[in-house]
Amino acid sequence: MKVVYERPKTLEKVTNHYCPGCHHGILHALIAEVLDEMGLAEKAVGVAPVGCAVLAYNYLDIDWIEAPHGRAVAIATGIKLAHPDVLVFTYQGDGDAAAIGLAETMYGAIRGVNVTTFLYNNAIYGMTGGQMAPTTLLGMKTTTSPYGRDAKREGYPLKMAETIALQGGTAFSARTALFNPKMIMETKKRIRQVFELQMKGAGFTFLEVVGTCPTNWGMSPVDATKFAETEMVKTFPLGVYKELKEVE
């Protein structure tokens, strides 16, 4: 019998804590697959955020460090300078990377730190129970924008992939999603691309991944996935915003 798919070796055989219909699990699995395929698990260090992915270190069989809230890219900078031969990535939510950690994330791009940041954008604070995120859509109701996000009151959704793309030290910035198999394969392709770029020393690589939060959106897993596909992408268009073709 031919094996067509098997559990990635780097994905730990444990039950994760994510809610049904949440896309974090998919993103974890994709990163694990790429690490396996590239043979990089032995050389990888992950930086976990504060947020839903705080326990990411339990799910991938690589070295991990758990960063203070928002400080993942600063932590990653220290690790990368300590050991330039390791693959360093941060795995962060929108609150972690784009609110409290915006300065650190931006400076990863400005300084061109040779690490990768995965930003899981589900437009909400999941772990703390559904508060407004910097990426919360206009009109979206959260526990801290109970009347719906109003630009006059709460400002506008922050477009990270576009913003990061503008910075000089950015080697790659894109936004993908996980709402259908085609997008999942596209995301996997981009994960491989950013890891390859990092191993070539290209600079800061950034992959924003549009995901779901059925629990805090108050939707079924199916509806949440549909919402990501139809609504989220209107504010957060998918695509590659910066891509360094040649690495010096």
Partner 1 sequence: MSERILMKGNEAVGEAAVRAGCRLYFGYPITPASEIAEYMAYRLPQVGGTFVQAESEVSAVNMVYGAAAAGKYAMTASSSPGFSLMQEAISYMAGAEVPAVLVNVVRGGPGLGDIQPAQSDYFQMTKGGGHGDYRLLVFAPYTIQEVVNLMPTAYELAFKYRNPVVLALDGLIGQMMEAVEFTDFRNPDEIPIPEWAVSGKFRHGGKKNINTSLDLIPEKLEAHNWKLQKKYSEIEEKETRFSYFGVDNPETLVVAYGTVARVAMSALKKLLNAGRSIGILRPITLWPFPKQALAEKARHAKRIVVLEMSSGQMIEDVKLSVFDPNKQYEFYGHPGGVTFTPTEIEEYLVRG
Q: How far is the CB of 122 from partner 1 (least distance, A)?
A: 21
Nearer to partner 1, 33 or 104 (CB): 104
Rounded to whole angstroms, the Cα distance separating 216 from 235 reads: 19
Q: How far is the CB of 28 from partner 1 (least distance, A)?
A: 15
Check binding of 45 to partner 1 (CB under 8 A): yes
Q: Which of residues 14-43 bind partner 1 (CB under 8 A)?
A: 41-43
Tokens representing 123 are: 């437009």
Q: How far is the CB of 217 from partner 1 (least distance, A)?
A: 24
Q: How far is the CB of 10 from partner 1 (least distance, A)?
A: 10
Check binding of 247 to partner 1 (CB under 8 A): no
Nearer to partner 1, 57 or 217 (CB): 57
| Binds partner 1 (CB under 8 A): choice among 32, 34, 75, 191 | 75
Rounded to whole angstroms, the Cα distance separating 201 from 85 reads: 10
Check binding of 63 to partner 1 (CB under 8 A): yes
Q: Is 25 within 8 Å of 18 (Cβ atoms)?
A: yes
Q: Is 198 within 8 Å of 115 (Cβ atoms)?
A: yes
Task: Say how many residues touch partner 1, by CB under 8 A.
Answer: 37
Check binding of 76 to partner 1 (CB under 8 A): yes
Rounded to whole angstroms, the Cα distance separating 40 from 198 reads: 12
Rounded to whole angstroms, the Cα distance separating 150 from 134 reads: 12
Check binding of 127 to partner 1 (CB under 8 A): no
Site map 80..99 versus partner 1, x via CB under 8 A: xxxx-xxx------------
Q: How many CB atoms lie within 10 A of CB 82?
A: 10
Rounded to whole angstroms, the Cα distance separating 128 from 34 reads: 30
Q: Is 178 within 8 Å of 199 (Cβ atoms)?
A: no
Give me the phi and psi of 140, to 5 degrees please. -75, 135
Can you give the binding site for partner 1, defined by CB under 8 A? 41-45, 47-48, 54-55, 57, 61-68, 71, 74-83, 85-87, 103-104, 106-107, 111
